[in-house]
Structure 1
Amino acid sequence: MANPVSAVSVAGRMAGAARAFIESLEPEQRASACAPFDSPDRREFTYLPGPRPGLALDQMTAEQQALAMDLLATGLSEHGFATAQAIMQLEAILAEIEQSIGKPGWERRHPEYYWFRVLGEPGGVQPWMWKVGGHHLCVEMTVVGEAVAGTPQFFGANPATIPHGHDDGGRRTLPDEEDLARALLAELTAEQRELAVTGPVAPKDILTRHDPVADVGEIPSGLLAGDMHADAQQRLVRLVRNYLERVVPEIGDAAWREIDDAGLDRVSFRWAGALEPGPGHGHYYAVLGPTFLLEYDNTQNDANHIHTVWRDLRNDWGEDILAGHYAAHPHGS
């Protein structure tokens, strides 16, 4: 069984924030924001623009928005929460860019087009979850008693580097996701790089897309950590921890213990696309272990459009901790 978070404080903070958010809503808003745990959308997520089940920020008062963001903050680290806010704010920049070139549909870009959803009864005996989704941001937290599972998780950025001429021109979103992978590549020997770099052309998107179940059979083979020298292994660890550090330490540290227990030597790194950075140089990488998958793709919009995902191959959607719960409570008690 996966190593879930076992800290009352995490589950308790989430339940308290979820209840405060729900209690602030009017009946019609609550009908949109809340649903039973077994609702069909429990295991759905997409990083594409467009509406989701739930209540969007633009349908809330300022007080309700603050409570919604408080809920999001219970699952994300300080750094992860700041990154999520930056992703949301990029929608305003993207709207400006697309409107200026006359691209149809620019109106769907808005920093408040993010939907909040609570499934089940927060803090109750039965499992429950909360979800936040919109363009380039998917946060899913499943809570079973005191255990919390925090994947699938998607962070993206468009534009990844804000063009000059706009507010915060030159600012990068998700810079470490690229820079740490490039540092790992630079650390490899020529022979190791031949195994790690699987092709000169990067795929157009992450290979697992937004499928409910990640098919790792789509991921090409690469270089195992067990075949790297010590310095390269440390670079790989730092890259993996960077993704896990988006969530609160209790969740990220539990995920790391599971990865470490399964064997770091069995974790592989593969890169596809251009080796040199810069506009137009599309690139992709994946980090795959027995228990997890990380994917990164930056090919769209002249390689200024990042997609990243973290999948737990055992416990996406809380499947592992749910299995334990249902085994212990076969009659739903």
Structure 2
Amino acid sequence: MHRCFLLLIMVILLPAVVPAQSMASSATHFIRLLSPEQQSQALFPFDTSERYHFSYIPRDDRKGIAVKALNTAQREALMALLGTALSVATVKKVNDIMQLELILKDLEHRAANDTYRDPGKYYVTIFGIPGANTTWGWRFEGHHVAFNFSADKNELVAATPAFLGSNPAVVPEGVDKGKEILREETVRGFTLIQALTTAEREKALIATAAPAEIITGASRQAMIAHPAGIHYSEMSAASRQLLLALISVYVHRYTKLFADDMLKEIQQAGLDQLSFAWAGSTERIPGKPYYYRIQGPTLIIEYDNTQNNANHAHTVVRDLKRDFGGDVLLEHYRDAHR
């Protein structure tokens, strides 16, 4: 592991409940540590179209300031900023996914000077001016990691789109053999599909072949017009509990305050409106692709493991009303600046 990235795998232990004011303070601290040239790379107005950019594939044209361009103090400040919105466990997942780039580089037998796989090619971008009385947002993005946050005054309005992926899903060889970063998302999904009764599973299974990729992709509007699968209201009490436990895995990627708000919205929209759909193998067999989706009035959660001989997992959380902060927040920002 490159010594210069050791700080990135340190988990910042922060309180479970952190208001948006703390996030703004952390963002301001991070900005102040940047040089003027770095600030010119990292800072954008809130109403720029760049704020809607969402990509989780390897690329060299991302906007923002790259992790590899940060010094030690700046990296520490970035990790602290992530910790104001994400749970301790999620910050660790983010760092683990970044380090997978080094494992992929070895598995793909790339040359030492090849930079296609690089744990430093993750970028932070800040939109607007962080503050207790402002509308602003920020993004942390790279291969298999993409989080987008929007805040208004002291309220964290949105923390989606939110993507975590893992390639390989299970490390096949080397000192990290068996490492599985998205294990909980995988195991709980299989626990649910396998616990369904025969009748319930027939409703949940929407296709024998899994789609090649998450269906919402990197679209600006994450809408799947017709929810499919089995509805919460059609499940037994035991199956309902397993579905809620699976949702909890994704919601609690965030700090407790925001996770609680998301859960409240899901409940207010009606648990009976939730649906669970599965495609592909219902048995966890190496090389057998599978996919699942949870959809409700307020969110879509997708998981797929189909690529690279079904050893390449993608997960995403999309807020159907407030992705990227939603249109209402943008109008609020523009009204304040007229």
Q: How high is the TM-score relative to the length of structure 2? A: 0.90
CA contact (8 A) 2:167 2:312 kept: yes
Deviations 1:165-211 (A, max 9, x none): x2221111111111111111122110110010111100000001011
Q: Secondary structure at the match of 1:113?
A: coil
Distance 2:288 2:31 in 1: 45
8 Å contact kept, 1:86–1:173: yes
CA distance in 1, matches of 2:335, 2:40: 29
2:127 pairs with 1:119: yes
Q: Structure 1 residue 18 and structure 2 residue 23: aligned?
A: no
8 Å CA contact 2:18, 2:255 repeated in 1: no
How many residues align? The count is 320
Q: 2:169 aligns with which of 157, 160, 164?
A: 160
RMSD, aligned α-carbons = 2.0
Question: For 1:1-333, what aligned pairs fall within 5 Å after superposition?
Answer: 9-51=18-60, 52-99=62-109, 107-123=115-131, 125-148=133-156, 149-164=158-173, 166-217=174-225, 221-319=228-326, 322=329, 325=332, 330-332=335-337
**278-287 or 9-18: bigger deviation:** 9-18
8 Å Cα contact 2:129-2:136 kept in structure 1: yes
Residue 299 of structure 2 aligns to which amino acid in structure 1?
A: F
- Give 1:9 shift: 4.5
**Deviating runs (4+, > 4 A) in structure 1?**
none
CA apart distance, 1:109: 0.9
Q: Which runs of 5+ in 2 are unaligned?
A: 1-16
**Is the partner of 2:233 in helix, strand or coil?**
helix
Q: Distance in 1 between matches of 2:327 and 2:55?
A: 22
How far, CA to CA, are the matches of 1:141 and 1:114 in structure 2?
Answer: 16
Q: Measure, in 2, the Cα distance between the counterparts of 1:156 and 1:331.
A: 37
Shift in Å, 1:331: 4.8
Measure, in 2, the Cα distance between the counterparts of 1:331 and 1:48.
35
Equivalent position amino acid for 2:96 in 1: A
TM score, norm. by length of structure 1:
0.92
Give, as a single letter, the amino acid of the residue that structure 2 aligns with 1:140.
N
The whole-number CA distance in structure 2 between the counterparts of 1:76 and 1:320 is 24
- Give the drift of 1:323: 6.3
In 2, Cα distance between equivalents of 1:124 and 1:35: 18
The alignment partner of 1:251 has SS state of helix
Larger deviation, residues 20-29 vs 228-237: 20-29
CA-to-aligned-CA distance 1:120-158 (integer Å, 9 cap, x gap): 101153310011000000011101112211111000000
8 Å Cα contact 2:18-2:257 kept in structure 1: no
Distance 2:71 2:331 in 1: 39
Q: CA deviation at 1:74?
A: 1.1
What residue in structure 1 maps to residue 9 of structure 2?
Answer: none
Deviations 1:10-33 (A, max 9, x none): 211111111111111111111001
- Report the Cα distance in structure 2 between the residues aligned to 1:66 and 1:331, rounded to whole angstroms: 33
Secondary structure of 1:252 counterpart: helix
- Residues 291-324 of structure 1, C-alpha deviations (whole Å, 9 max, x = no match): 1100000000111100000001011111166168
Q: What letter matches 1:332 in structure 2?
A: H
